[in-house]
Amino acid sequence: MAVLMGSAALVIRMKASKKPTSARRIMIPPLAMSTGFLMFLYEPTRPSTFHIGEALLVGLLFSTVLIYTSKFERRDGDIYLKRSKAFAYILAALLIIRIVLRLIVGQEINPAELSGMFFLLAFGMLLPWRVAMLIRYFKLRRSIDDVSSTV
């Protein structure tokens, strides 16, 4: 299932680079994913404070790779996400690392709590990446607006 979801994310990401981006398109994924926090209403999915910090820290570390490889470009007055040749490999490597971590950590932690931890890891990876993209988007948008206002 993880491989299927990772493959779907890769296909969606590759298609997205063919259309101009916007602040809304950048921030919809973490906003939509935030509904997953409802899982924590079910007590067995709640990890300990240590495990929460651990999952968020690993997510933050994974996000640095995505932040580094996500670039924007101006084309025809619009802003596009620039395709990175390494992105597909990076996404696959992160997916494999998550699967291996799940197999290793899954021996020690109950499945419900582990699900909560991996949700936090994914959210901890997605949110910083998207916020960094949003900041870059607004910087590029502002430079485009500055150039067009001086002309």
In order, the DSSP letters of 74-121 are: EETTEEEEEPPTTHHHHHHHHHHHHHHHHHHHTTTS-HHHHHHHHHHH
pLDDT digits (tens, 9 = 90+) for 101-136: 888 887 788 889 988 998 999 999 999 999 999 999
pLDDT digits (tens, 9 = 90+) for 52-96: 999 999 999 989 988 998 889 988 888 998 877 777 787 778 778
Domains of the chain, by residue range, sit at: 2-150
Does pTM surpass 0.85?
A: no
CA atoms in the 13 A half-sphere facing the CB of 90 = 15
- Whether 123 and 58 have beta carbons less than 8 Å apart is answered as no
| Residue 26 predicted with pLDDT over 60 | yes
